[in-house]
Amino acid sequence: MIFMAMDEPSSIQTRPSLLRRLKTDDAGGWTEFYRIYGTLLRGFALQSGLTETEADEVVQDTAIAMARHLPEYRYDPKVCKFKTWLLNQASWRVKDRIKKRNREANYIVSSPQSDDTARTPAINRVPDPASIDLDALFETEWRKNVVAAALERVKEDFTDRQFQIFDLLVLKEWPGADVAQSLGVTLANVYVTRHRISAAIKKETKRLEAQLEQAAERRAMEGQTSRNNHRTGPA
């Protein structure tokens, strides 16, 4: 199980207020967008085979694309969840970067100045868009962030020693016997602690995802009501 550090325990949630602020070009809203989703999008881009510079560009380009298209976006989870919409926006940016690299690599290969030693590495460094499962990569990054948020939320339910056991056994992948010896506890205690914390994280992860869907549903209903009132006007 892999965990990623988060700025805040609840930062993976798509808050309706954030969507409203982004739609109105609120500068603070965009700062919050980068804080909440920047790490997620950057990790997604890096896992897709892009460089750190390209990944940063994907985050920026995705934010720009969202600024352009959010005003016409209707938040209806039955039609398209925000996570899916964000995935589409980021995937298009990643594919654009890969295509750009392909063009540059082809130029290097066809250049009269390029020799055989330079051609092969240039070609090998370019990922094949068809071979990359972007949906799976995005889902992995999303899950890592959700689980990290859940981990932060369940910490208060356990002692520092219990989390030390969990950290060494699960996060640092120490052998159970080494953890027991290092902390002066029994091997049975090590595995019971792992089971309890893992179960708590799994439960909290489900709760966070359900909370996200419920918030999205409420926002969709509020938005529909607001649009209907705007069309009909005062009685």
pLDDT tens per residue, range 165-188: 999 999 999 999 999 999 999 999
Partners of residue 76 on adjacent β-strands: 80
Q: How confident is the model at residue 94, as a pLDDT?
A: 93
> Is the predicted pLDDT of residue 61 greater than 50, yes or no?
yes
| pLDDT cut 70: percent of the chain above it | 57
Could you read off the pLDDT of 64-109 as tens digits, one per residue?
Answer: 887 777 666 666 666 667 778 888 889 999 999 998 888 877 665 5
Please state, in angstroms and rounded to a whole number, the distance separating the CA atoms of residues 95 and 61.
12
pLDDT at position 125 is 52
Token reading at 208: 């966070």
User: Which residues are CB-neighbours of 92 under 8 A, at least 6 positions away?
Assistant: 65
Cα 156 from Cα 76, distance rounded (Å)? 34
d(CA 230, CA 235): 11
* Confidence at residue 10, expressed as pLDDT on a 0 to 100 scale: 40
Contacts of 198 (CB under 8 A, 6+ apart): 1, 166, 170
Return d(Cα 201, Cα 58) in angstroms, integer: 31
| Cβ atoms of 142 and 40 closer than 8 Å | yes
Which amino acid, one-letter code, is at 212? L
The pLDDT assigned to 2 comes to 38
CB-side neighbour CA atoms (13 Å) of 201: 23
Per-residue CA distances from 96 to 51, 122, 123, 179 (Å):
14, 18, 17, 46
How sure is the predictor about 119, in pLDDT bands with cuts at 50, 70 and 90?
very low
Buried b (16+ CB within 10 A) or exposed e, 132-170: bebeebbeebbbbbbbbbbbbbbbeebeeebbbbbebbb
Tens-digit pLDDT profile for residues 124-163: 555 565 667 888 998 888 888 888 888 988 999 999 999 9
Q: Are 35 and 7 in contact (CB under 8 A)?
A: yes
Q: What is the mean pLDDT of the chain?
A: 75
pLDDT digit string, tens, across residues 181-232 = 999 999 999 999 999 999 999 999 888 777 766 655 555 555 556 556 666 6
The C-alpha torsion from 202 through 206 and 211 to 214, rounded to 10°, is: 180
What is the pTM assigned to this prediction? 0.58
pLDDT at 31: 65
**Amino acid at position 46, single letter:** L
